[in-house]
């Protein structure tokens, strides 16, 4: 898929298809008015006939419109002009793409002036459109013997802007969003793979391939290495599986190596049965997505490497399966983490925090500027925030605010939950330093409280993506989130440090 930017008014443009907006009550946008004028009222006549009323999610494709240099014109409903906002903009873009994919159109021109300026700047509109377009043509059919032959004919989108002054910002947004989209596609591919293929060893191989392509440094620690480091918590999760655990480390240096890096830690449970605390059978297949934190870290690393951001970035991925067996960890077992803290395992299905805590301790050796862990950690987060919003907790309010702002900018939102000391009491254990669960209440917060005990030496934030990493139902599949949020955050960090 190709994207480009032009400036000028509609009457001076040509191509296979132009997209113009129509507000409710059949009110034309400025580009529609221009095309209507040069077609001697043809568009107005179409609107008068009542074939499209301008409501959101409506469209009408016109062929052979007289007087224009476009083969087709797609009229797209924008809803009520006074109510047009970011949500409606994104809905309109998706409606536009859905309509275009049903045609043989190969290239199309979008007039950004059709969308009111109050929705944000043109560079933001371009960024969201690029990501939505790449997402709309994404297919995961690698595992099908006969992939479906329903590929879209769309190959190029041209964005038409009014002035040359905004060209640099728009071109930069286009390149950044392309990198984000590529990172999201990698994240989706890894999440959608069958768990008998996407094992810890497979993830390690993918990381090494990424390192080779983008000249990163890759280190893969096996179970013997982790035993020497004292990672008893991580290894306790791997005990029930025949697949060996891996600790995957990727290092990207866009600045001098003396600069403190940002560290991303991604939960990589490639399949989670719950262990001895076995999950219900219904929808257990979706537990192949429990490595989505790891997938999003690899996708973000790809985006950063493509953009060659001037930052130092380290990815740490603890990867394992969580399986029941005669050797599996039992409820009531006590293990010793790399930090030296002992953990009473009350529920083996609360395994994500057990592998993350050792990875967070391992992160200390990089003397990090910031550490962010990303994990499909708690069902409680889905209950609290649904499938729209990522849960955010942090030991640093400034860092939390920067992540929230990045999420708003990227349309990949997060919401901050409290991390007050009072919640720590829920993790008390009679037999160890800490229990791995805190009971039924405040499950998302107590999971973060657990992790916070291993992050006292640096600024840290935790993203719970249990509700946002994948979709269930007929559209089942990985979402690619929170690659946009993370990459936008790192772009902002690179600007601040330059």
Q: How far is CA 50 from CA 43, 44, 60, 366, 461, in A?
A: 11, 10, 11, 64, 53
What is the Cα–Cα distance from 76 to 99, expressed in whole angstroms?
A: 9
- Confirm if 40 and 194 have CB atoms less than 8 A apart: no
Question: How would you classify residue 386: left for phi > 0, otherwise alpha for psi between -120 and 50, otherwise beta?
Answer: left
Catalytic residue, chosen from 26, 353, 413, 481, is: 353
What is the Cα–Cα distance from 291 to 433, expressed in whole angstroms?
A: 28
Three-class secondary structure of residue 367 per DSSP:
coil
Contacts of 49 (CB under 8 A, 6+ apart): none
Structure tokens at 217: 């440094």
Q: Assess whether 353 carries a catalytic annotation.
A: yes
- Confirm if 368 and 261 have CB atoms less than 8 A apart: yes
Q: Assess whether 212 carries a catalytic annotation.
A: no
Q: 15-23 and 27-28 as β-strands: parallel, antiparallel, unpaired?
A: antiparallel
Of 52, 45, 67, the closest CA to residue 21 belongs to 52
Sign of CA dihedral 383, 482, 182, 290: negative
- Tokens 């209440």 correspond to 441
Half-sphere exposure of 323 (CA within 13 A, CB side): 19
Catalytic residue, chosen from 279, 453, 459, 471, is: 279
Three-class secondary structure of residue 341 per DSSP:
coil
What is the Cα–Cα distance from 495 to 92, expressed in whole angstroms?
A: 31
Beginning with the edge strand found earlier in the chain, give each strand of the sheet holding 334-336 in spatial order: 334-336, 342-344, 434-435
What is the Cα–Cα distance from 153 to 168, expressed in whole angstroms?
A: 29
330 secondary structure, DSSP code: -
Contacts of 470 (CB under 8 A, 6+ apart): 191, 286, 289, 292, 476, 477, 478, 479
- Confirm if 303 and 252 have CB atoms less than 8 A apart: no
Task: Just list the catalytic residues.
Answer: 279, 353
């Amino acid at each position: 898929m190709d994207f480009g930017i032009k400036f000028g008014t509609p009457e001076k443009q040509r191509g296979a298809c132009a997209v113009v907006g129509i507000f409710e009550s059949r009110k034309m946008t400025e580009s529609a008015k221009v095309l209507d004028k040069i077609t001697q009222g043809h568009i107005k006549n179409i609107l008068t006939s009542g074939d499209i009323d301008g409501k959101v999610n409506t469209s009408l494709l016109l062929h052979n419109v007289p007087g224009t240099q476009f083969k087709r014109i797609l009229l797209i409903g924008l809803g009520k002009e006074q109510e047009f906002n970011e949500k409606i903009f994104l809905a309109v873009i998706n409606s536009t793409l859905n309509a275009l994919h049903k045609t043989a159109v190969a290239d199309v021109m979008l007039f950004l002036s059709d969308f009111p300026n109050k929705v944000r700047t043109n560079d933001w509109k371009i960024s969201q459109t690029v990501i939505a377009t790449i997402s709309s043509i994404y297919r995961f059919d690698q595992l099908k013997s006969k992939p479906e032959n329903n590929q879209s004919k769309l190959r190029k989108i041209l964005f038409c802007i009014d002035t040359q002054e905004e060209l640099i910002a728009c071109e930069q947004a286009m390149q950044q969003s392309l990198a984000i989209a590529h990172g999201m596609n990698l994240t989706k591919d890894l999440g959608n793979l069958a768990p008998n293929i996407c094992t810890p060893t497979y993830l390690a191989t993918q990381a090494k391939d990424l390192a080779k392509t983008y000249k990163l440094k890759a280190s893969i620690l096996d179970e013997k290495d982790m035993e020497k480091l004292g990672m008893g918590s991580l290894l306790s999760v791997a005990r029930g599986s025949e697949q060996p655990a891996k600790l995957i480390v990727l290092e990207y240096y866009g600045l001098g190596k003396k600069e403190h890096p940002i560290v991303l830690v991604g939960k990589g449970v490639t399949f989670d049965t719950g262990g001895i605390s076995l999950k219900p059978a219904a929808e257990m297949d979706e537990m192949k997505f429990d490595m989505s934190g790891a997938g999003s870290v690899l996708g973000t690393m790809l985006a950063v490497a493509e953009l060659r951001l001037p930052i130092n970035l380290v990815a740490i991925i603890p990867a394992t399966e969580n399986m029941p067996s005669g050797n599996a960890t039992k409820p009531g077992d006590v293990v010793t983490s790399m930090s030296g803290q002992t953990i009473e395992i009350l529920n083996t299905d609360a395994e994500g925090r057990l592998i993350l805590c050792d990875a967070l301790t391992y992160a200390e050796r990089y003397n990090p500027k910031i550490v962010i862990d990303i994990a499909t950690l708690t069902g409680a987060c889905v209950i609290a925030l649904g499938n729209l919003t990522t849960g955010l907790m942090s030991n640093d309010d400034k860092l939390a605010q920067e992540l929230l702002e990045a999420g708003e900018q990227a349309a990949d939102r997060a919401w901050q939950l409290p991390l007050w000391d009072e919640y720590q009491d829920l993790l008390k254990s009679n037999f160890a330093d800490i229990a791995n669960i805190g009971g039924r209440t405040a499950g998302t917060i107590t999971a973060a409280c657990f992790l916070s005990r291993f992050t006292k030496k640096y600024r840290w934030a935790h993203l719970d993506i249990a509700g946002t990493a994948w979709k269930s139902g007929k559209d089942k599949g990985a979402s690619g989130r929170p690659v946009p949020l993370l990459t936008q955050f790192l772009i902002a960090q690179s600007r601040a440090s330059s």
